Structure 1
């Protein structure tokens, strides 16, 4: 009894001391996280993470116990950013431009700030068309409509602007913006291959670009790698306040993403099979394996070339606050990596 009373007194003293010093007892980290991923090969690390329950394993190893992970599928920077701002997400995969837009907009607003948790993937984006007369970007006219997941801020939208800037001059980067139409990639595929809508072009990622090219009426107009190189296209990010309050969970997420990338590198066949059973798109493992063996398709948690986006978007006026370095936008754990 005396020992019990002593423990009670000591606990009360500890709480009182914390109150006097302004230091509160450490709060437990979350036991449930909400993560969003999108469609296509660019999200393969998150798809593998979900399928193999890698975050659950890493969280358990970090002493966080049994963590419940809720997965959502969202496409387009605007949609993802809205979900993050309303507090509906803890981690999200997104095109680098969508993340940079929100990072810049929320910078300096503690309740709204976001931070990059990792890089994720790089690949080639194809501009495909069902119109025989379109052979280059210069052949696209006001009569054409280009399907992309989100207008202005989505990955496809900004990469297309960067390509247009190379083709027509930086001052004309928005030349094709009036022709763009917001459609999720699966819907863009259906519209382009069906040929019965206003959509004459689709700027898209694997597997959709490959599936479209199986149709004899579709041909490729341009490849993004020819314009911007092999740079990180998709990243993951989180509310900064979530990261600050959940450092172990954030590290567990980064470790789980590294685990997913290691699996993809070591066993592309298994990764392809995971994608097939997780995807709603009709594609077989052999086709996905071929996509994964494309040298333009790479997966890494280390951001590469994201400053190209930041520089372009700042010059284009789509962001007001530009980071001085790529690492300014990401968690400190990435600063030791050779990013750019």
Structure 2
């Protein structure tokens, strides 16, 4: 199925380059002046697109008297991103709040991975092309739902949160058996083309909007209905990288803050940046309208992440209970306030 889905993605112009091959063995610690960033797919990573396009890390590095070398890697799924961070292959990981909480819990007292910043607030939609599926209670063993990483990605955690809300905490994993790990571009292509077992996708922008342009695809669940406006995707790092590279780290946070202001205040330029950096096959005017959605907020300040953290502890997915969002975020001058 994987090969057929990939071919579908290419034929529909939705495919993107995936990292091929295994991750390197644990790398030698990076000296001040180099940063390696792992991102994934979608508009939720727009701030990183702006940072990259405008060379903002390099700009703020020079202000610190430092020439910073920036390396970019694209992965799919929180598991791959967490593995890359813990293996020493990357310094900054971009993934959902679910993977962040998992790796924070796993490394507490050792590498002490924590979040650096949010990438903004966006609703994520659970989509289906099966007309019989109106709510999550309608999914059956005949349905398959694409998520970036089974059981770990923020989409998987949202699905578990919804299942617990529907059937109780003991049934939080009730829909896990119906999920498949498929990158967003490939899952969108498969959902649009049909002809495979995959008829559901817990998506993100702009892929969910591209899919919804097809009248056969509909929204089953909106993540904002579960948690209210929230920051589903975060950037995180190890305590060692932050401590050993203070100038590089500071330049990165300043770059993100400028990128957030740029994206929030100039949606047309932000859309142009996304198309230019990602080479996405999406109509510019359509993308501008999408980015201008009042539900979208480009900000580095996290919002409403703690309910998912509390839920994951409650179901046993976390061994350590965070008392607040501050437990799993580095306390830097930015972001100042969060939740």
> Is 96-105 or 272-281 further displaced after alignment?
272-281
- Which residue is 1:309 aligned to? 308
What is the alpha-carbon distance in structure 1 between the residues aligned to residue 310 and residue 301 of structure 2? 19
- In the alignment, which residue of structure 2 is the partner of 1:136? 135
Partner Cα distance (1:92, 1:34) in 2: 9
- The question of 1:92 aligning with 2:118 is answered no
Q: Which runs of 5+ in 2 are unaligned?
A: 1-29
What aligned pairs does 1:190-205 form with structure 2 within 5 A after superposition?
A: 190-205=189-204
User: CA 1:222–1:263 in structure 2 vs 1: closer, same or farther (change >3 Å)?
Assistant: same
Q: TM-score, normalised by structure 1?
A: 0.88
* 1:148 paired to 2:157: no
* 1:336 positional shift: 7.2
Quick check: 2:38–2:72 contact (8 Å CA) kept in 1? Answer: yes
Does residue 1:37 correspond to 2:47, yes or no?
no
**Preserved contact between residue 126 and residue 223 of structure 1 (Cα < 8 Å):** yes
CA contact (8 A) 2:121 2:229 kept: yes
CA distance in 2, matches of 1:281, 1:207: 10
Task: State how far apart, in whole Å, the 2-side matches of 1:192 and 1:328 are.
Answer: 38
Which residue in 2 is equivalent to 1:77?
Answer: 78
- Classify 1:259/1:335 alpha carbon distance in 2 versus 1 (closer, same or farther; 3 Å): closer
> 1:7 is matched with which residue?
none
Whether the aligned pair in 1 keeps the contact of 2:263 and 2:270 (CA below 8 Å) is yes
Aligned positions of 1:1-340 closer than 5 A: 30-64=32-66, 66-109=67-110, 112-334=111-333, 337-340=336-339
Q: State how many pairs are aligned.
A: 311
Is the contact made by 1:152 and 1:158 (CA closer than 8 Å) also made in structure 2? Answer: yes
Separation in structure 2 between the aligned mates of residue 190 and residue 247 of structure 1, nearest angstrom: 42
Contact persistence 1:37–1:43 (CA under 8 A):
yes
Q: What is the SS of the residue equivalent to 1:299?
A: coil
Kindly indicate whether the alpha-carbon contact (under 8 Å) linking 1:302 and 1:334 is maintained by their aligned counterparts in 2: no
**Following TM superposition, by how much is the alpha carbon of 1:281 offset from its aligned partner in structure 2, in angstroms?**
3.4
Alignment RMSD (CA, Å)? 1.7
- Given that 1:276 and 1:284 are in contact with CA atoms closer than 8 Å, whether structure 2 keeps it comes out as no
Native 8 Å contact 2:149 2:156 kept in 1: yes
CA–CA distance in structure 1, aligned partners of residues 330 and 56 of structure 2: 20
CA contact (8 A) 2:58 2:68 kept: yes
Change (3 A) 1:182 1:280: farther
Q: Aligned equivalents of 1:299 and 1:173: distance in 2?
A: 31
* TM-score (structure 2 length as normaliser): 0.88
Counterparts of 1:274 and 1:336, CA distance in 2: 24
The runs of 4+ residues in structure 1 deviating greater than 6 Å are none
Match of 1:317, SS?
Answer: coil
Any conservation in 2 of the 1:272–1:288 contact (CA below 8 Å)? yes
Q: Displacement, 1:263?
A: 0.4
In structure 1, stretches of 5+ residues that fail to align are: 1-27
* Structure of greater Rg: 1
SS in 2 for 1:332: coil
C-alpha contact (below 8 Å) 1:75/1:149 kept by paired residues? yes
Query: Cα deviations across residues 157-206 of structure 1 (Å, max 9, x unaligned)?
Result: 11111122222223322111110000000010011111111101011001
Q: Is the 8 A contact 2:32 2:247 kept in 1?
A: no
Aligned to 2:332, the other structure's residue is in SS state helix
**2:335 and 2:116 mapped to 1: Cα distance?**
14
Q: Measured at CA, do residues 144 and 334 of structure 1 come closer, stay the same or move farther in structure 2, by a change above 3 Å? A: farther
